[in-house]
Structures are given as C-alpha cells and as structure tokens.
Amino acid sequence: MEFGIFSHMHVPHDDTEHARFLRELEISEAADAAGFKYDWAPEHHFLERYSHQPAPEVYLSWVAARTKRIHVGHAIVNITAPVNHPVRVAERIATMDHLSEGRVEFGTGRGSSSAEWSGFAIPSAAETKPMWQEAIEQIPRMWREEYYAYEGKYFRVPRRWITPKPYSKPHPPLWVACSSPPTFTLAGELGLGALCFTTGTAAEVADHVRNYKDAIRRCTKPIGEYVNDHIAVTTNMLCLEDGDEARWLYSRARTGQFLEYFYQWLDSVPRPPQLPKEGPVRIHEPTPDDLVARLRRGGSLVGAPEEIAEVIKVYERVGADQVIFAPLTMVLDQQYVLRSIELFGKRVIPTFDRDPVHRTTRQREAALAARAA
C-alpha cells in the first residue's frame, strides 16, 4: 500500500487563490518529507470555489523542483483536443519527465462537468469519450516514433518530429480517472492505472477495485508500452495524537460545504441514492459522534494513528494499491494539516509501505527487464 496527496486548490469564500496556492505548495513539500510517494493535481476549468487548478503542469513543476522523492501526478490532464491538443500534452509531459528525472505520473481524462466541456465548445459529454480514446491511443505513438503523422477525427498532425522524447523508458506511467463502473473495466482492459475517489466507506469501492483487477488480468495489449496495474482511491484524512481533537477540528472544517461544491459542479459523477438526482444539495457537517460511527464502518480516516491504521487495513483488504488524501478540501488552520501529515508519515506509512521504490517504477523496470530477456 502506497500513499499520496491531492493538491486540489479548493478556494473557500473566505480565502484567496494566492494563499491557497502557497498553502498547497507547503503541504506538497511536507508530504515529500513525510514519506508520501505521490502528489496528484487535478485539471479543472470554470469551477468556482471547488477547484482553481487549471494548469497542473505549472503547479507540479514547482513541486518537482522543490522536492526530492515524491512523484508528481496529473489527476488529470484533460486530453480532449479542444481543451489540450494531444501534441502539446505529449510535449509537456515529456519535458516534466526530464526535469523531474522520471517522477511524472500521467493521469488522463475528459473533463468532469458540463461547465468544462461546454466551455470549450464541445457539443456533449458523450463526444468527450471518443476524443479521449483517440488522444490516449496517439500520445504513446508520439513518444515512440521518430517522425509522427496522423489523420484522425478530432485532430490531425502532418509528419513532424515531436520532441522531447520521455526521459523514463519507455515512458511515464499512464492513468485514467474513473467514476462510472464501465470506466474501471475499460481502464483495466487498456492496462491503465485507475484514479478514483470515495465519499463513503472503503467497502463502497470494493466492486470497482475487483472489476478493475479482473480486467487488468485480461490485458494482453496495453495502450502504452507496459501495464500500469495500480488503482488509487482518494478520500480525506486528519491524523492527530488525540483522536477526539482530530474529530472536533474536522467537524468544524466545512467538509460538507466542499461536498456541496463537488455535487454542484461535477454533474457527470453519479450521485449517491440519498441525494437528489439533480439540482442543489445540502450536506450537513459531521459531528464528532458521526465521525466515530464512520470510523467504525471503515468510512472515516479522522482520528489517532492507530485508529486510522485500522481503516487503511480495510482499503488494503479490498485491493486498493494507493490511498490519496486531499488535505485542503476543508477549512482548517495550516498547523493542524502539517501536524497530520508529519504524524501520518511517522506512525502510519511505515506500517503499510516498506518498499522505498514506487510501485509504478517497479512495474516499468519489470517491463524493460522482460523485453531485454
């Protein structure tokens, strides 16, 4: 089991973009020092307050320059051609791969809301799927072939020499964001890592994990040059020595308000059955007692290190390879967030992650060794 953070750039009404960028960067550096292996940043456009992170390649470049070990991950790059031309994506990812010396994780997707895809004049959400499929098939070709040319439905490239080629051999790990059940199966069949989230319990993603793992075992022709067998689940965490203090702080951190933004903007994500199918939602803030009950159900990582470790074991049992935490999708003084990251690194990570090498690096190296044999 490995661990990552999510540099989301949630900007509450009583904070500023500048302050949040600097806080996110401080947390990224702290996570690297604490032993977290991945720092993921989304790409979002036009989503007020939910996420002001439209240029993750810029943010992650800063993180890579100021850290030593942590992998910088896109969760995700929108690779539909109207949003990001696939050639420009291939160029940027390969450049980051060189400057970070192989620490880039290339997560892909097609946008998560009508505000985003319609803002770039894409006619429908359905149209984004073949756009994504076309781009994800072509980008590895751009990295592999000396000269590249393509005549497709959504973009065309005359014969050109696309540079740079990746530093990582054969290329950085490929991922896709997953929210609907068919996407988990598709990710596995294409040999892609799966990035997903839960607002409930670890058990609620168990079927998705199982479907992904079943599909990736069937993968004989990955879309890249090797299979990235890796599923990561994003949730929240607050780890303090005093579990009751953690729950008291978390109950006042306006996490319910963040989820309201989530369901307001991400209209492509299926809503839980207890919420209205469309329109605004009202989510009550959890009480400390609610958080204790969730902890016992495996649905809350808020408490003391030993309490949180028990929930991590549930994620481990359902087959997740990585758990990602979003430290600033809440309103909480930075001192507590930094304390949480440091303590989790000292008391929880060593229990579960004893390999100094990243799983994605191990898989890439194994693929190269198999080719050489």
pLDDT tens string 152-166: 999 999 999 999 999
pLDDT tens string 42-74: 999 999 999 999 999 999 999 999 999 999 999
Secondary structure of 170-189 in the HEC alphabet?
A: CCCCEEEECCCHHHHHHHHH
pLDDT tens string 72-108: 999 999 999 999 999 999 999 999 999 999 999 999 9
The proportion of the chain whose per-residue pLDDT surpasses 70, expressed as a percent, equals 100
Burial 33-67 (b: 16+ CB within 10 A, else e): ebbbbbbbbbbbbebebbbbbbebbebbbebbeeb
Regarding the domain with residue range 2-240+320-372, which homologous superfamily does it belong to in the CATH classification? Luciferase-like domain (3.20.20.30)
The proportion of the chain whose per-residue pLDDT surpasses 90, expressed as a percent, equals 90
**Whether the predicted pLDDT of 269 surpasses 90:** no
pLDDT tens string 318-363: 999 999 999 999 999 999 999 999 999 999 999 999 999 999 999 9
Band the pLDDT of 110: cuts 50, 70, 90: very high
Rg (CA), the chain: 20
- In a 13 Å sphere around the CA of 28, the CA atoms on its Cβ side amount to 29
